[in-house]
Amino acid sequence: MTDANIWQRFLAFSPGDVSQVRVFFAPGRVNLIGEHTDYNGGYVLPAALTVGTWAFVRLREDGVYRFASTAFPQVVTVQKGDLNYKLEDDYANYPKGVVWAMEKAGVSIPGADILYHGNLPNGAGLSSSASIEVVTAFAINELSGAGLSVERLTLLSQEAENQFVGVNCGIMDQFSVGMGRADHALLLQCATLHYRLVPVQAPGYKLVITNTNKRRVLSDSKYNERRQECEAALAQMQRANPSLTCLADVSVEDWERLSAVIDDERLRKRAHHVVFENARTQRAATLLEQGNLRAFGELMNESHRSLRDDYEVTGPELDALVEAAWTVEGCIGSRMTGAGFGGCTVSFVEAPQLPVFEQVVAERYIEQTGWAPSFYVSDIGDGVREVTSDELAQLAKSIL
């Protein structure tokens, strides 16, 4: 859809003066390493993408929110005082949840017409839902003049997803979509929200996201199951070591001793992944800072093996993509990214090898699964923001 079409779509949905419309953008994210560590109090290393979700917003004065999307035909209309999760409202449950969380936090506007337009593949594990949540929270914050920090907005967005939508995610997605910086990854300690920006220095390499094109059907129930398994493993270790507050408190050095009390092999494997992934993520950030991309890539591969064998969240499609990527000369690291069970992989590939990479991976993947993958060569962009007046003038020109 072109810019002109988006504006026409907006004005058909919300007629009136274009100059009263404000436009905001939040990216999606890719996680470079540190998977299933966020809700265990550990480290993650995500980066914001340059693709994401735009929100075109016009204030209303009548206590009503109307949500539209260029990807769905229906308009969802809700009274501010009557916000409930409804299956048939589909994507609009995310912004509804954000309005609910913001109102609860005392941040309020009288109402709005909001049209969303995105260029992230939905359900591909690149945080399209966090992107829509955070862009909505940011827009309401700006329009209300409440002045909440972006960090706070990411927490309110997570609250919307946990409590309103009912998905028990950690903080990684919302935080990276909100706080990302161009050409940097964020090394985030999820228990404290302390973070440091890590430059992604990869001259000569491309960051490639490969989509299995398999929607993550099982992801919510399996995701919650993994969370419970982690809690159960922690509870067993806590009986012997009451000072542990989360799995990420366990160091690699203490693993053998502290995990000896876990009486179930499956729980032990889950906890093993978390403890070693947490250590890997910190090491990986240092290697990236040192520009040692080859060693970084090795850790990405280790991460995938651990997610496949110990955490068991990969599945045949993700394994097929990653195992094909590993055979390509010039691919120095490849792993699944996000929750797993479908979605995408992330790989670093020497730039001249990119065509070979795409050909080999596509061929093997189609042969093994019958599905065709999609490839995105991605740049690392900034977090949520208002679209500048210059960018807006460009967009507006297209309808005059």
Cβ distance to ligand GLA smaller for residue 114 or 339: 339
Catalytic residue among 38, 173, 249, 310: 173
Binding mask 94-133 for ligand GLA (x = CB under 6 A): ----------------------------------------
Q: Is 170 in the site for ligand GLA (CB under 6 A)?
A: yes
Angle at 335 between CA 194 and CA 273, to 5 degrees: 60
Select from 10-18, 34-42, 326-334, 377-385 the region that touches ligand GLA (CB under 6 A). 34-42
- From residue 82, give the alpha-carbon distance in Å to each of 58, 65, 94, 96, 326: 20, 11, 15, 10, 51
Instruction: Concatenate the DSSP letters of all residues of 174-187 into one string.
Output: HHHHHH--TTEEEE
Shortest distance (Å) from residue 336 CB to ligand GLA: 10
Q: Which among 324, 296, 331 is positioned nearest to 34, based on CA atoms?
A: 296
Q: Could you tell me which residues come within 8 angstroms of residue 366 by beta carbon, excluding any fewer than 6 positions away?
A: 372, 373
* Cβ neighbours of 128 (radius 10 Å): 26
Q: Which of 7, 10, 24, 39 binds ligand GLA (CB under 6 A)?
A: 39
Shortest distance (Å) from residue 44 CB to ligand GLA: 7
Site residues for ligand GLA, 171-190, by CB under 6 A, read 172-173
Cβ distance to ligand GLA smaller for residue 36 or 272: 36
Select from 48-56, 86-94, 170-178, 387-395 the region that touches ligand GLA (CB under 6 A). 170-178
Q: Which amino acid is at 377?
A: V
Shortest distance (Å) from residue 97 CB to ligand GLA: 14
Residue 310: strand, helix, or coil: coil
Cβ distance to ligand GLA smaller for residue 13 or 195: 195
Tokens 């769905």: give the residue.
72
Site residues for ligand GLA, 259-318, by CB under 6 A, read none
How far apart are the C-alpha atoms of 232 and 268, rounded to whole Å? 10
Cβ distance to ligand GLA smaller for residue 27 or 170: 170
90 is catalytic: no
Q: Which among 304, 296, 339, 297 is positioned nearest to 320, based on CA atoms?
A: 304
The gap from C-alpha 289 to its chain's centroid, in whole angstroms, comes to 22
How far apart are the C-alpha atoms of 40 and 196, rounded to whole Å? 19
Shortest distance (Å) from residue 9 CB to ligand GLA: 29
How far apart are the C-alpha atoms of 275 and 268, rounded to whole Å? 11
Q: What is the dihedral of CA 270, 187, 175, 319, to 10 degrees?
A: -40
Q: Is 169 in the site for ligand GLA (CB under 6 A)?
A: yes
Select from 165-173, 279-287, 349-357, 390-398 the region that touches ligand GLA (CB under 6 A). 165-173
Select from 33-41, 244-252, 265-273, 282-290 the region that touches ligand GLA (CB under 6 A). 33-41
How far apart are the C-alpha atoms of 357 and 132, rounded to whole Å? 32
Shortest distance (Å) from residue 258 CB to ligand GLA: 22
Angle at 177 between CA 281 and CA 307, to 5 degrees: 35
Cβ distance to ligand GLA smaller for residue 158 or 259: 158
Number of residues that bind ligand GLA (CB under 6 A): 10
* Cβ neighbours of 161 (radius 10 Å): 22
Cβ distance to ligand GLA smaller for residue 14 or 337: 337
Cβ distance to ligand GLA smaller for residue 31 or 259: 31
Q: Which of 250, 339, 344, 384 binds ligand GLA (CB under 6 A)?
A: 339
Shortest distance (Å) from residue 94 CB to ligand GLA: 13
Report the catalytic residues.
173
Positions in the binding site for ligand GLA (CB under 6 A)? 35-36, 38-39, 169-170, 172-173, 338-339
